[in-house]
């Protein structure tokens, strides 16, 4: 007997009811259709963790199936938006690195690649294997005997970019590249989870999501006039870093465009805001999203 056997759609709806999820806005038939055609149970049901439980009955409080559906939709808007911000910062970091390398008279653009290979041989080998087998970049690879940093950056993933920046940051005394070095890994966290379409709106304040922020992270919160205790949540911490770096290193024009796009995310959040009038954690999170979007203006 499997610990959690596969269930029919009727059984899945019944299971939600047993967990305390109400169906005040959807019939059982509508719920089954949503589970069959729009979203699958494991993912949709995960959003219930944003609601408190009655410990004596082990049932969720003030959680309706509509909450799960609405949060799932908001999550899509937010993930797509955060992913765009991550790509912007990735480009800004590459541009900053290339500017410093170009201005450095002691760097020819090839020696840094050799240093990267020596310092991170496994990552370099992985990068070159992917580059050599690229369906779209094969011509870029085959016509070169030596690989320069500007070519390597075009094929590096986010993790390899952070390694390159860390390597170069140790060589030079530049506050901008050092700031990227200290904080790009947090952007990578958001980039990875949004790129892989993982659920984001979940467990913001759970004990498993707690962290002890660095002094520099606390300084960023202070500079942005955000309560430093917010930085104790891993996801909220990483979001704050993401918006801070975007505001600081992306162009005013791009920040303005992302601010406008962020307002569309906020409009989606507010569409059913009365649903969350009794949910303080979600209200706190939505308020922070609002603040961070406004920070790009």
Cα→Cα distances 297→246, 261, 264, Å = 11, 11, 14
Question: Which pLDDT score is estimated for 144?
Answer: 65
Strand partners, 59: 54
Query: What's the pLDDT tens digit per position in 216-252?
Result: 999 999 999 999 999 999 999 999 999 999 999 999 9
- pLDDT at position 15, please? 97
SS (H, E, C) the chain: CCCCCCCCHHHHHHHHHHCCCECCCCCHHHHHHHHHHCCCHHHHHHHHHHCCEECCCCEECCCEHHHHHHHHHHHHHHHHHHHHHHHHHHHHHHHHHHHHHHHCCCCCCCHHHHHHHHHCHHHHHHHHHHHHCCCCCHHHHHCCCCCCHHHHHHHCCHHHHHHHHHHHHCCCCCHHHHHHHHHHHHHHHHHHHHHCCCCCCCCCCCHHHECCCCHHHHHHHHHCCCCHHHHHEHHHHHHHHHHHHHHHHCCHHHHHHHHHHHHHHHHHHHCCHHHHCCCHHHHHHHHHHHHHHHHCC
pTM confidence score: 0.93
Q: What is residue 171's predicted lDDT score, i.e. its pLDDT?
A: 87
Neighbours of 210 (CB within 10 A): 11
Kindly calculate the radius of gyration of the chain based on its CA atoms and give it in whole angstroms.
23
Stretches where the chain sits below pLDDT 70 are 1-2, 134-144
Q: Are the beta carbons of 161 and 153 closer than 8 angstroms? A: yes
């Amino acid at each position: 007997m499997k610990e959690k056997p596969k269930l029919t759609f009727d059984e899945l709806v019944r299971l939600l009811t047993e967990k305390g999820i109400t169906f005040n806005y959807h019939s059982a038939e509508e719920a089954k259709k949503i589970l069959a055609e729009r979203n699958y149970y494991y993912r949709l049901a995960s959003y219930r963790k944003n609601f408190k439980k009655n410990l004596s009955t082990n049932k969720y409080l003030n959680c309706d199936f509509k909450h799960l559906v609405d949060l799932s939709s908001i999550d899509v808007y937010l993930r797509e938006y955060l992913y765009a911000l991550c790509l912007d910062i990735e480009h800004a970091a590459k541009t900053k690195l290339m500017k410093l390398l170009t201005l450095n008279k002691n760097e020819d653009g090839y020696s840094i690649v050799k240093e990267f290979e020596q310092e991170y041989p496994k990552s370099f080998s992985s990068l070159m294997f992917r580059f050599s087998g690229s369906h779209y970049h094969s011509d870029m690879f085959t016509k070169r005997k030596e690989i320069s940093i500007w070519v390597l950056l075009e094929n590096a993933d986010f993790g390899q970019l952070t390694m390159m920046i860390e390597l170069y940051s140790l060589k030079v005394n530049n506050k901008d590249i050092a700031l990227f070095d200290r904080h790009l890994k947090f952007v990578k966290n958001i980039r990875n989870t949004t790129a892989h379409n993982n659920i984001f709106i979940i467990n913001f304040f759970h004990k498993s999501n707690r962290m002890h922020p660095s002094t520099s992270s606390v300084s960023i919160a202070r500079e942005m006039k955000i309560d430093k205790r917010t930085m104790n949540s891993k996801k909220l911490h990483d979001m704050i870093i993401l918006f801070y770096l975007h505001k600081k290193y992306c162009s005013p024009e791009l920040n303005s465009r992302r601010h406008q796009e962020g307002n569309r995310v906020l409009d989606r959040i507010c569409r059913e805001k009365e649903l969350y009038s009794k949910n303080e954690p979600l209200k706190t999170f939505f308020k922070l999203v609002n603040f961070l979007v406004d920070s790009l203006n």
